[in-house]
Structure 1
């Protein structure tokens, strides 16, 4: 009997040990959707910089290569992750190979939460101080550029003469009895994407009482939901859908440059500008290199390149002649809604408020699905 108990105990120990080894191996592997690009130093390596960002590598490649022209002995490793994963990397130390030196994210709310929870290092420099006060918070998180949240259509699927220029015009088009956009309009699902959730909350604040009717009109036209912005714009580019609502201008411009038959609409009623922000995690392995790269991002040289290559609106307002990929936005200053960094973004990260917001969102867009979902 003792021998049997000993054998059973030994078996449990082996199962636990194997399970621990397996979990450790699984956790060491990068997420399946993580895309890593390594930019080797052009001379003998003297430094290393690890960037985790939510922009695809095509939008940041020119920026990293220009930085390496100034600092050729620095190897740069860029990991493209979604914003929830970026937040997770900042909120825990993680394995040594996972620790980033700088977090670059379009989910302003999650970046603010990292700072508020004590996960960021302060950074003070002339370049950082050159930002407008609304573009920096606690000297720990910095807006390095702004993304316009736009409407995009495929000119081969929708007559440009009919393309809506405001949300009210879009609602009228959605009410057209001929259904020109039925089953052919797409948007991101805030239940699956942290940045889509952030955009949805800011859009709801701006629209007020009109937010629900807009979602209802989208749902009545069988709007398609996408987990990520890239697949949404891919389906728009190939004509599977004809219209995309609430996407970043940089992603659309990138496809237009590659020949996609797309056109961008900057809504005339209000144009939401979402900050892309940077912070240095407290556990950064190479904080000095992170500070140097951050100052490069915020410098006039970096800001101009960000605008030209990453398709962002510069965060600095003192550039003498910034690129104007989206036209002269000063002409429509009354419609601009630029996100200002601060604690207000934490409101919708409260779990109760988040569940309520998402429940209301899906009830307006897809009431049948909402009714079938347990509360």
Structure 2
């Protein structure tokens, strides 16, 4: 089922073609400071993002080459910090961002329902798997992060599933991120609670799980031997291995948790022509390739391979638990309850 699907079934192709056709008119350059006499995009575009700084540094030359009249400004921070800044700006009625590119799917859906985003379907989304699109054209994934299991090379036995961390079938110490402060850990917790119930958290606590904070802390605890295994972003594990870390990746048999990192255009942008052009570059094959090569993340373009020899997006989604509208609702409406349940489990 789409993420979260608002258009389903046989009407998908027609809906996307229609949206792409509408885009041609809506993105036409207008007279004024946002467009030059020739109609080329120009002016400033602010992007609020949680993408890694080195990925942004790699994207900058491509953006300058494709859009020489556009000056791109980045506000880069973790998804939670970006959300806090946006909420403050929205409360003040002064949103500076033109585009949002973080990795909190639930935040996007909430903002979309509140009317914060303009509808825009880049031509490149026609290739993106339907489960990674909001088919109302309010946002679309441009990158995929994936929560997997990791362990140190040579440690045995290794956990084979997320369930094994809590049900006693695996004996060992595991480090996990904190859903109270880490957006990726929260998304993983939503999936696990939906699949295994509240007992998953109490099971983790009973078996000595270590709440490490964010992904960097989880990696450190596994590398140092404080934990035997961990729940970690694939991109962090692959980057660590490239540096010589003894970390090994285990694809959980109960399904990895893929976390889409969408991009959305704010309805308040003063420069929609240039902002749409920037969004198109991010979704272009060249932009997607940089996200894979520099960020160790999966592209949403099925023509591209995954990071460091991993298979591409279609094979990734086969290894993952599916995004469903019910999961989106759970994260939106029951997120506070989940955090309270997690806190109670680990305060015992």
Q: Normalization by structure 2: what TM-score?
A: 0.75
Please tell me whether residue 141 in structure 1 is matched to residue 139 in structure 2: yes
User: What residue in structure 2 maps to residue 254 of structure 1?
Assistant: 239
Counterpart secondary structure, 1:284: coil
User: What residue in structure 1 maps to residue 53 of structure 2?
Assistant: 57
User: What residue in structure 1 maps to residue 161 of structure 2?
Assistant: 166
Q: Larger deviation: 57-66 or 292-301?
A: 57-66
User: What residue in structure 1 maps to residue 4 of structure 2?
Assistant: none
Aligned-CA RMSD value: 3.1
Superposition map of 1:219-230 within 5 A: 219-230=205-216
Cα-to-partner distance string for 1:231-256 (whole Å, 9 max, x where unaligned): 332443444444222x2211222222
Superposition map of 1:151-230 within 5 A: 151-155=149-153, 159-171=154-166, 176=171, 180-181=172-173, 185-205=174-194, 207-209=195-197, 212=199, 214-230=200-216
Counterpart secondary structure, 1:222: coil
- Relative to structure 1, is the Cα distance of residues 171 and 345 closer, same or farther in structure 2, using a 3 angstrom cutoff? closer
- Relative to structure 1, is the Cα distance of residues 271 and 289 closer, same or farther in structure 2, using a 3 angstrom cutoff? same
User: What residue in structure 2 maps to residue 336 of structure 1?
Assistant: 320
Q: Larger deviation: 250-259 or 84-93?
A: 84-93
Counterpart secondary structure, 2:321: strand
Once residues 312 and 271 of structure 1 are traced to their aligned partners in structure 2, the CA distance between those partners, rounded to angstroms, is 14
Displacement, 1:204? 1.7
Larger relative contact order (CA 8 Å, sep ≥ 6): 2
Matching residue within 65, 76, 86 for 2:82: 86
Give 1 or 2 for the bigger CA radius of gyration: 1
Displacement, 1:298? 1.5
Superposition map of 1:63-78 within 5 A: 63-78=59-74
Once residues 222 and 164 of structure 1 are traced to their aligned partners in structure 2, the CA distance between those partners, rounded to angstroms, is 14
- Relative to structure 1, is the Cα distance of residues 168 and 139 closer, same or farther in structure 2, using a 3 angstrom cutoff? closer
Displacement, 1:282? 2.2
Please tell me whether residue 345 in structure 1 is matched to residue 343 in structure 2: no
- Relative to structure 1, is the Cα distance of residues 241 and 288 closer, same or farther in structure 2, using a 3 angstrom cutoff? farther
Task: List gaps (5 residues or longer) in structure 1.
Answer: 1-45, 369-375
Cα-to-partner distance string for 1:142-166 (whole Å, 9 max, x where unaligned): 11122221112233xxx24522222
Displacement, 1:334? 5.1
Matching residue within 115, 124, 128 for 1:127: 124
Once residues 222 and 256 of structure 1 are traced to their aligned partners in structure 2, the CA distance between those partners, rounded to angstroms, is 26
Counterpart secondary structure, 2:268: coil
Cα-to-partner distance string for 1:214-237 (whole Å, 9 max, x where unaligned): 433431343222332233324434
Once residues 253 and 196 of structure 1 are traced to their aligned partners in structure 2, the CA distance between those partners, rounded to angstroms, is 18
The structure 1 segments of at least 4 consecutive aligned residues displaced by more than 6 Å after TM superposition are: 94-98
Displacement, 1:333? 6.2
Q: Normalization by structure 1: what TM-score?
A: 0.70
User: What residue in structure 2 maps to residue 36 of structure 1?
Assistant: none
Counterpart secondary structure, 1:76: strand
Please tell me whether residue 272 in structure 1 is matched to residue 257 in structure 2: yes
Once residues 288 and 259 of structure 1 are traced to their aligned partners in structure 2, the CA distance between those partners, rounded to angstroms, is 44
Displacement, 1:343? 7.9
Matching residue within 288, 298, 313 for 1:313: 298
- Relative to structure 1, is the Cα distance of residues 88 and 280 closer, same or farther in structure 2, using a 3 angstrom cutoff? farther
Task: List gaps (5 residues or longer) in structure 2.
Answer: 1-41
Q: Is the 8 A contact 2:187 2:259 kept in 1?
A: no
How many pairs align?
A: 304
- Relative to structure 1, is the Cα distance of residues 252 and 287 closer, same or farther in structure 2, using a 3 angstrom cutoff? farther
Once residues 73 and 257 of structure 1 are traced to their aligned partners in structure 2, the CA distance between those partners, rounded to angstroms, is 37
- Relative to structure 1, is the Cα distance of residues 259 and 311 closer, same or farther in structure 2, using a 3 angstrom cutoff? same
- Relative to structure 1, is the Cα distance of residues 237 and 293 closer, same or farther in structure 2, using a 3 angstrom cutoff? farther
Once residues 237 and 98 of structure 1 are traced to their aligned partners in structure 2, the CA distance between those partners, rounded to angstroms, is 41
